[in-house]
């Protein structure tokens, strides 16, 4: 059953960002006109690191990468990654920033003959992170000065003595804040999805539902449309990596549903047979009794009537 067939009001409002689950999709490229993007905001447990290509930064990058990996975050260093034959900006820079949970930027300018030479790539990436409202950890050596237009941004001024402690605190804080935001976004996304289903006439079903065991260990939830006598298994895909899981679960759900329907039909047929037997027994008792013993006959038939009504109720439930 497709969304269109169920008349779910999931229309897009024409913006460049489309919500999917607790993440949002960036539909259009920021730079190239008529170029689609499709990257999911914050969909990966990664940290994008923007930095110049100076040799003296290697120990710092190794330290940052080690701390990120220890905390379950994948470090993405664009100057070290290769993307042969691909669009470098989309693949290595913009796409990775969009998908990252948070970002780190190292603002160490090159000094030649006492002249400060900023790295344009780093500042461009810093601006992109800011426009995407990413949580950013800016770093700069303590003997350097920030550009005037970013001096108001809280920046870690590091040296060889404090870099380990400072970056550890900053990374842990970033993980905590982004996880909190992610959980909040997921709650809102779930609420929004349930509201849309409710407006479409669907109500969520509980564990008492006759098909609840079909989906109990899957990622699907059951919904019912009473007016149209429809049941729906609904799955919420938060990011593209979950698609395969839902496809596998869907195959299991379809198999279980077909098996359940077959078993229910067999049970209904048995109940109908029992009902016919009880009807004949009731009719036989009443027909074989004289007028004088009629009340006794009805009393004798009473247990069969109760059993008959119980079976009728079971069939109606199906």
- How confident is residue 262, by pLDDT bands cut at 50, 70 and 90? confident
- How confident is residue 44, by pLDDT bands cut at 50, 70 and 90? confident
- Contact between residue 64 and residue 75 where contact means Cβ atoms under 8 Å apart: yes
Reduced to 3 states (helix: H, G, I; strand: E, B; else coil), residue 6 is helix
Count of CB atoms situated within 10 Å of the CB of 310: 14
**Helix and strand counts by DSSP (H, E) for the chain:** 9, 13
Give the CATH architecture of domain 3-188: 3-Layer(aba) Sandwich (3.40)
Average pLDDT rounded to a whole number, residues 42-51:
89
Residue 240 tokens, joined: 């593209």
DSSP state of 56: G
For residues 259 and 281, give the distance between their C-alpha atoms in angstroms, rounded to a whole number.
Answer: 33
| pLDDT value at residue 20 | 38
- Contact between residue 166 and residue 133 where contact means Cβ atoms under 8 Å apart: no
> In DSSP terms, which residues pair with 232 in a beta bridge?
223
**Which tens digit of pLDDT belongs to each residue from 105-150?**
999 988 788 788 888 999 999 999 998 889 999 999 998 888 888 8
For residues 5 and 254, give the distance between their C-alpha atoms in angstroms, rounded to a whole number.
Answer: 18
| pLDDT value at residue 149 | 83
For residues 133 and 153, give the distance between their C-alpha atoms in angstroms, rounded to a whole number.
Answer: 13
- Contact between residue 241 and residue 42 where contact means Cβ atoms under 8 Å apart: no
pTM of the model: 0.53
């Amino acid at each position: 059953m497709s969304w269109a067939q169920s008349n779910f009001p999931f229309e897009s409002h024409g913006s460049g960002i489309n919500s999917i689950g607790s993440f949002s999709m960036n539909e259009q490229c920021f730079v190239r006109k008529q170029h689609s993007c499709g990257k999911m905001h914050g969909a990966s447990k990664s940290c994008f690191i923007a930095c110049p290509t100076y040799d003296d930064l290697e120990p710092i990058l190794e330290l940052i990468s080690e701390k990120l990996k220890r905390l379950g975050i994948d470090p993405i260093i664009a100057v070290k990654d290769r993307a042969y034959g691909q669009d470098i900006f989309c693949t290595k820079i913009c796409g990775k920033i969009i998908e990252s949970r948070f970002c780190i930027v190292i603002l160490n300018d090159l000094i030649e003959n006492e002249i400060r030479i900023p790295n344009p790539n780093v500042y461009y990436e810093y601006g992109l992170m800011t426009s995407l409202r990413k949580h950013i950890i800016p770093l700069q050596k303590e003997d350097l000065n920030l550009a005037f237009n970013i001096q108001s941004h809280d920046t870690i001024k590091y040296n060889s003595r404090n870099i380990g402690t400072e970056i550890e605190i900053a990374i842990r804080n970033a993980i905590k804040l982004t996880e909190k935001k992610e959980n909040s976004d997921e709650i809102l996304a779930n609420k929004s999805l349930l509201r849309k289903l409710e407006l479409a006439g669907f109500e969520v079903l509980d564990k008492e539902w006759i098909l609840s065991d079909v989906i109990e260990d899957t990622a699907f939830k059951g919904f019912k449309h009473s007016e149209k006598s429809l049941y729906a298994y609904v799955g919420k895909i938060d990011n593209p990596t979950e698609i395969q899981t839902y496809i596998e679960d869907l195959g299991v759900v379809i198999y279980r549903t077909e098996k359940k329907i077959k078993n229910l039909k067999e049970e209904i047929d048995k109940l109908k047979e029992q009902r016919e037997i009880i009807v004949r027994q009731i009719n036989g008792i009443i027909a074989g009794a004289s007028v004088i013993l009629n009340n006794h006959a009805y009393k004798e038939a009473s247990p069969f009537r109760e059993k008959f009504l119980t079976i009728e109720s079971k069939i109606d439930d199906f």
